[in-house]
Amino acid sequence: MKVQFGIFSVGDVTTDPTDGRTPTEHERIKAMVAIALKAEEAGLDVFATGEHHNPPFVPSSPTTMLGYIAARTSRLILSTATTLITTNDPVKIAEDYAMLQHLADGRVDLMMGRGNTGPVYPWFGQDIRQGVPLAIENYALLHKLWREDVVDWKGRFRTPLQGFTSTPRPLDGVPPFVWHGSIRTPEIAEQAAFYGDGFFANNIFWPKEHFQRLIELYRERYAHYGHGTPEQAIVGLGGQVFMRAKSQDAVREFRPYFDNAPVYGHGPSLEDFTAETPLTVGSPQEVIDKTLTFRDSFGDYQRQLFLMDHAGLPLKTVLEQIDILGEEVVPVLRKEFAIGRPANVPDAPTHLSRLGEKNS
């Protein structure tokens, strides 16, 4: 598969501004599961959940949710939109995600991130001023735990390990593929390049020029570390869409959700935000046209995830949006992204493709 298409969710509990109703945490958790199941039904490839430990978000335990979804799906790749590498113990990440990998028969990858909530650091006994060093050291240990059967380790931020074996071992001896997510930090692009991992530029809030610089840095350093050419680096991108058959209907329906959204509400206008960021509110064809420009801006890439369930949108509406995405948008994007794609650009990584590389 050349490009994977999917949904990512931050799991916010937000009041619907059109009727004043706020879902319960139970309803929101169940809605996230329904969205994942709909993603598979609609022919999408990936569902990714965030990780948060504070209201108004519910996904504090991604592996629990993804394990449940794994049991109810057969094809969908289960991922995270953020795994907090700074405040989770890398030993626990190694074991939890290897267990999930076995349960899902390899349909697992994850995205490392530092999150966007400063107070989470002291809640888990860490210092936010050490955010980048924590991300670098903890991932170095995680990477080692998945590749060496017996690990000796000494670092700055956790107790040493002596003769430690993380269990279970990765499925087929192939660790889950790792993306490193960032919206602003060059050190994270450098880290992804150093290990030959994927780099996910969550470009939904900032102008493209900022992310062009980050992705260009990642591609250059990927080549510098000997993993391949810059064009062979593994890149993922974010996106936001809201669609109706007629553009004016999409704008009219989505505007109250945009205007009151927790992240960007009461800030820039909908028109300004759609002009400067990947957000597309309009017809399916407008979503297709704008998404196709991403390749012009960032080069050929491997994963495209869309945020569709935020800002208080009701579940019924989100499921309708996923149907439109799967029926009218993604089939065209698959076809168009394949046209003119150089032969040396790798396909999106999967467990089977990486197992084949291991055994070749």
Question: Residue 188 carries which DSSP code?
Answer: H
Residue 102 in this model has a pLDDT that exceeds 70: yes
Residue 195 in this model has a pLDDT that exceeds 90: yes
Please answer whether residues 227 and 190 qualify as being in contact, where contact means their C-beta atoms are separated by less than 8 angstroms: no
Query: What CATH class does 4-359 carry?
Result: alpha beta
pLDDT tens per residue, range 114-160: 766 667 777 877 777 888 888 899 999 999 999 999 999 999 999 99
Domain spans in the chain, listed from the N-terminal domain onward: 4-359
Please answer whether residues 13 and 315 qualify as being in contact, where contact means their C-beta atoms are separated by less than 8 angstroms: no
pLDDT tens per residue, range 242-254: 999 999 999 999 9
- Give me the chain's average pLDDT, please: 93
Partnered with residue 8 across adjacent β-strands are: 48, 307
Identify the pLDDT of residue 115: 67
Identify the pLDDT of residue 266: 75
Per the listing, tokens 């990936």 go with 46
Q: Where are the alpha helices (DSSP H) in 76-207?
A: 90-103, 120-123, 131-147, 186-195
pLDDT tens per residue, range 34-76: 999 999 999 999 999 998 888 888 999 999 999 999 999 999 9
pTM, entire model = 0.95
